[in-house]
Amino acid sequence: MIAENLKKVQERINAVDAKNQVTLIAVSKTKPASDLQQAINAGQHHFGENYLQEALDKIKALKNQNLIWHFIGPIQSNKTKQITENFSWAHSIDRLKIAKRLNDQRPSELGKLNVLLQVNIDNEITKSGVSVDEIEDLITHFENFQNISLRGFMCIPNPENNEQSFNKMAKIMQKYSNLDTLSMGMSSDLELAIKNGATFVRIGSDIFGKRA
């Protein structure tokens, strides 16, 4: 079932991914390691997790399988060390303090941690992320970091105007030619996201089924 779902999602991506630039992240929060193993057996290597302890248990259970782990949930100060030690990507940087902690705590033998700024593209009070107005100032600080690499942006738009929000993110991306990654688009709107330049899509329910 999971293998079949993965195939359908990949077909949806391929239908609109004219530049062959999109990587599928299977969002596996609340799902057991056995479900992830089914996805791995079907060729999936990128997994996104929101909850640190749950993720660490799965990373341990599924080690030595050449997987790429993305932390996509809110990052609190007390979680930064374990994120730096266990993940290749952190999508949800929303303040300088967190970026600095990730930089200071990343083990040098692991190489640079890839990070994305989470943008609160619709200025929703219920969502994390930097405002559009804060981006420029924040980005200048990343030049000083040796152990993390700012690659681009992540957003979670309001579903009522996601096309407009994706378009706004595309325009922001155009301002920064040194950045190459845009993480946006989920099960319901991945096609719109890709048309607006998404390079990562984060898909959960259409692969693993609805969460309990």
Of 62, 61, 3, 58, residue with least CA distance to 30: 58
Could you list the residue range(s) of the whole structural domain that residue 35 is in?
2-208
**Model pLDDT for residues 35-76, shown as the tens digit of each residue:** 999 999 999 999 999 999 999 999 999 999 999 999 999 999
For residues 119, 21, 27 and 36, what is the CA-based torsion angle, rounded to 10 degrees? -160
Q: How far apart are CA 112 and CA 115, in angstroms?
A: 9
**What is the tens place of the pLDDT at every residue in 87-120?**
999 999 999 999 999 999 999 999 999 999 999 9
What CATH number is given to the structural domain containing 170? Answer: 3.20.20.10
pLDDT at 148: 98
Please count the structural domains in the chain.
1
Q: How far apart are CA 9 and CA 81, in angstroms?
A: 33
pLDDT tens-digit readout, 125-162: 888 899 999 999 999 999 999 999 999 999 999 989 99
Instruction: Give the pTM.
Output: 0.97
DSSP string, 93-129: E-SHHHHHHHHHHS-GGG-PEEEEEEE-TT--TTS-S
Taking all residues of the chain, what is their mean pLDDT, rounded to a whole number?
Answer: 96
Q: Is residue 211's pLDDT more than 80?
A: no
